[in-house]
Amino acid sequence: MNYRLLIDYEVIEYLETLPRRERRLLRNRFVAIRDDPQKFSDYTEPDHTSRRVDIHICGKYAVKFWQDHADRHIKILDLHFADKPPLK
């Protein structure tokens, strides 16, 4: 099934602060997550509505994403250092 990739604006702002190599790595990983989300689900946790949120560890970063099957979207919700809690 083809999904569309949607990225939270705060994630985009954070990406812009990273070195070019890390930005490229993460952008490529976002596309890989879109293409095969199950392959990149290392952990899961419920959000405030009990919806499943997947977490993928990419190097030193944790990527939180949600598969919206109804709209056929992969939504990148958060990006933060894997060894620190998110700022949100």
Predicted pLDDT at 87: 60
Predicted pLDDT at 88: 57
- pLDDT tens track for 37-80: 999 999 999 999 999 999 999 999 999 999 999 999 999 999 99
Distance separating alpha carbons of residues 3 and 81, to the nearest angstrom: 26
Map out the domains of the chain with their CATH numbers.
Answer: 4-81 (3.30.2310.20)
Confidence of residue 84 (pLDDT cuts 50, 70, 90): confident
Please indicate, yes or no, whether the overall pTM of this predicted structure exceeds 0.75: yes
Predicted pLDDT at 30: 98
Give the CA-trace dihedral at 13, 49, 86, 35, to 10 degrees.
-60
- pLDDT tens track for 7-22: 999 999 999 999 999 9
